[in-house]
Amino acid sequence: MLNIDLTGLTAVVTGGSRGIGRGITFALADCGADVAIIYAHSSEAALGVKDEVKKKGKRSLALKCDVSHEEDVVRTLENVNNEFGRIDILVNNAGINRDTLILRMTPENWDEVIETNLKGTFLMTKHATKYMMQNKFGRIINISSIVGITGNVGQANYVASKAGIIGLTKTTAIEYASRNITANAIAPGFIETDMTKKLPDRVRGEFLKRVLRRRVGTPEDIANVVAFLVSPLASYLTGTVIVVDGGLSLG
């Protein structure tokens, strides 16, 4: 367990049922926060994570929500606030990919990724901050990606969404600074998730050659940074982008 106390705070984690989001949910619960798990498809996985959080002695909700639809976002956050009485932490982690070269990428491929990854982050931020302003406190963490900084072949839509998240994070930090709301982004590298497990062994091997730490990252590697950023230890950090890639971008 991290030596961070988030007791009395409520966190909302989008994409919280699997991969990085699951790791973040458990880390925040271990630190004492109640957690609302926002998911899009896998209700079984979300309910499993919810049960695990309750075993840790914390309150939890699992709520299905399409973060690209404003009505869904408004309704979901209202439910969280009604259940827990407050929203203090928002982790925008929900994301999808539809990889292909620009030459073959359809407008539908582009729109679907931008709608979920970037518009979803915008909508959750817009409506969660209304509750944060009521309490004069808020911590927003946006999960970007190292490719949002470096670019990557075959991922123009994904890269654009993750680069956009970095710009959105900085603007959010500026606009909400006077309300005691901070906003920071994390740019993960090659992390072991359902998305990366689908990569061919050859591609995984090429990535690992470039990772200075010579291992794939884990969801816990990201979750630990999230826990730090939402804690009092990071109260002076806002508008930052923390790269967590094991040295991939330097390899």
The model's pLDDT over 233-244, given as tens digits with 9 standing for 90+, comes to: 999 999 999 999
CATH code of the domain covering residue 128: 3.40.50.720
- Domain of 57? 10-250
- What residues form DSSP beta bridges with 183? 140
Q: Is residue 53 in some structural domain?
A: yes
Structure tokens at 127: 């409506």
Pick the range with the lowest mean pLDDT from 44-48, 133-137, 173-177, 199-203.
Answer: 199-203
* Among 143, 228, 230, 232, CA closest to 188: 143
Write phi, then psi, for 150 (nearest 5 degrees): -95, -25
pLDDT value at position 1?
53
Residue 200 has pLDDT above 80, yes or no: no
* Tens digits of residue pLDDT in 58-102: 999 999 999 999 999 999 999 999 999 999 999 999 999 999 999
* Among 239, 235, 233, 232, CA closest to 8: 232
Q: Is residue 2 in some structural domain?
A: no
Write phi, then psi, for 120 (nearest 5 degrees): -60, -40
CA distances from 82 to 10, 87, 88, 94, 204 (A): 12, 10, 13, 23, 44
pLDDT value at position 196?
73
Going by pLDDT thresholds of 50, 70 and 90, the confidence category of residue 40 is very high
Please list the active-site residues: 158
Q: Is residue 158 in some structural domain?
A: yes
Residue 246 has pLDDT above 80, yes or no: yes
Average pLDDT over residues 213-229: 95
Q: In the chain, how many domains are there?
A: 1
Cβ atoms 27, 49 nearer than 8 A: no
Residue 103 has pLDDT above 70, yes or no: yes
Write phi, then psi, for 87 (nearest 5 degrees): -135, 120
